[in-house]
Structure 1
């Protein structure tokens, strides 16, 4: 199978997706948080692959999503501290 030229709307720009994952991760600790993220990332990678997104691009998208989720968590934590 060859790499595709299909480009998806960037995952890290999907605010509801980013915020939803961030909220779940905030409610978990340690291995539970790791397991949730691994499961979520695997599901998203499968969905992107089935949509025709090249594996390398799919991995980049999931990596950018993780950074956006962690940024959302950090922003929310900073806002709570500022209250």
Structure 2
């Protein structure tokens, strides 16, 4: 049996996912936002694992997704301030 390397379309490039998470996080207080993020990460990690993604790669995907979500929140905040 040979090892295979499975890759997924990068989570941080999935605009609807990034925008949706950012929107929800901005609508919640700190404690609820943290709980939502932990739940989201858990779900994503399970999905990636079921797809055959190695744990290290899955964790890296979540880290880059988090950075994309933070950037989206920053962009949304800047747009609100400029209006």
TM value normalised by structure 2: 0.94
For structure 1, the 5+ residue unaligned runs are: none
Task: Kindly report which structure 2 residues correspond to 1:1-83, keeping only aligned pairs within 5 A, or say none.
Answer: 4-83=4-83
Partners of 2:4 and 2:39 lie apart in 1 by 25
SS at the partner of 2:42? helix
Partners of 2:82 and 2:31 lie apart in 1 by 29
Partners of 1:64 and 1:55 lie apart in 2 by 14
TM value normalised by structure 1: 0.94
- Post-superposition, which runs of at least 4 consecutive aligned residues in structure 1 deviate over 6 A? none
For structure 2, the 5+ residue unaligned runs are: none
Q: How far did 1:29 drift?
A: 1.1
